[in-house]
Amino acid sequence: MTTAFVTIIAFLVTVGVLVVVHEYGHYLAARLMGVKILRFSVGFGKTLWKRELGPDRTEWVLAAIPLGGYVKMLDEREVDVPAHEIPRAFNQKSVAARIFIVLAGPAANFLLAFVLYWALFIAGMPGIKPVLGDALPNTAAAQAGFKSGDTVRAIGDEPVYTWIDVRWYLLKEAVRRGTVTVQVEGPDGSSRGVRSLDLGGLTADDLDQDFLVKLGLRPYQPQVSATIGRVVKGGAAERAGLREGDRIVGIDGRKVDTWIAFTTEVRASAGKTLRLEVERGAHRFELTAVPEAVGEGAARAGRLGVEAGPELKREYDRMTTTVRYGPVESATRAVAKVWDLSVFSLKMLGRMIVGDVSWKNLSGPITIADYAGQSAQLGWISFLGFLALVSVSLGVLNLLPIPLLDGGHLVYYLAEIAKGSPVSERTMEIGQRVGIAVLLGLTFFAFYNDLNRLFFG
């Protein structure tokens, strides 16, 4: 399957699952409260498929625009309700019942994320061991004294097992721009103590990029030769005459010592003719190859269509680990993960509002589709992890106190409790206009950031 096809399918699955889970939360809560459901729609716009099911003839709809959904309930403010069905109207229910129905959507997203993380923690989360390469010169990592071969064991009070942990815990600390303690262990297993890493030099824009590079931290790269493993049939390497077991020792007259140096050069040379110096057994000769261009914009990279030889694979096997827990501990960690992500999302949003974090961190459907496709190609564990992350984000987004979102409705109901009567229709009308303006503004920023990433990285 092509990358574009996988991306489209992964995006549709992501949106479909998240929308169905969110709206089904509203649907179940409304049914429990005795509210009549008129329509359950996945998507907006033109109806592509419709079925009427159940004693209430509820319409189950699949619509053309797959960017959301809704549950339409019987409501006197929207339609004429027969006298015998008035008790089943949403607006006739108590404030507590309406709050329960509104909260059920985001709660369903948080529950989905919990279940996914629980399953992933039991199955095992693969990752790269947090072993450091040489700290980049004149960076915070170099000043802190990190050395090549150090293994990160803890950041602050949090234990670290993979590079994903390193990135996550440092990102949380980076938002505060303070100094964080990092516990490291030497290559021979001997403790090297604690390093103090200054995050104060990070800017708002740095958090939208690979901020670990700005800090000077990078993973250890195995120093193995550029020996070719499997050659992809029909790829640029096969057309150029490369074979399994060939060793690349030079490119365009420049010496190549490692596989990393070789692949870095290839990725930077999409569509360009490269003069490769090849060692095959006792013979050394030259041939030319043109890396195929894959990706778009700043993500465009060259690809020859080769895999690494067994030496590099052995090194990477040695550098990988799988972190798993028992069912009970996995449940505890899943709850903590969902809570952690939710709080962090709110903190990031707050810092965006005050300008401490760039609005470039706001992503729209194009970026979500891109990440969905990438995670799907990495395997089901990566895709389920991505699905859980977006589910938390959707739950948090819907709880924001913006009219038209679930959080906006909660504000109306809390105001109703405070004043003893429902808010006026005029107030709701103004709120609706404000909500539309805010959501359109957020949508504009998200699409702008998506297009900026797509074409300019």
Residues 15-43 as b/e (b if ≥16 CB within 10 A, e otherwise) read beebbbbbbbbbbebbbebebbbbebbbb
CA 220 from chain centre, in angstroms, equals: 24
- In one letter, which amino acid is 431? G
Q: Is 76 a catalytic residue?
A: no
Q: Which of 97, 94, 95 is nearest to 26 (CA)?
A: 97
- In one letter, which amino acid is 186? G
Counts for the chain of helices (H) and strands (E), in that order = 13, 16
Residues in the chain: 457
* Annotated active-site residue in 23, 185, 265, 277: 23
Rounded to 5°, angle at Cα 433 from 427 and 439: 130
Please tell me the distance from the alpha carbon of residue 37 to that of residue 58, in angstroms, as a whole number.
6
Pairing of strands 179-185, 158-159: unpaired
Tokens of 416: 């109703």
CA 37 from chain centre, in angstroms, equals: 33
- In one letter, which amino acid is 166? V
3-state class of 333 per DSSP? helix
Residues 169-181 as b/e (b if ≥16 CB within 10 A, e otherwise) read bbebbbbebeebe
Please tell me the distance from the alpha carbon of residue 1 to that of residue 47, in angstroms, as a whole number.
29
Active-site positions read 23
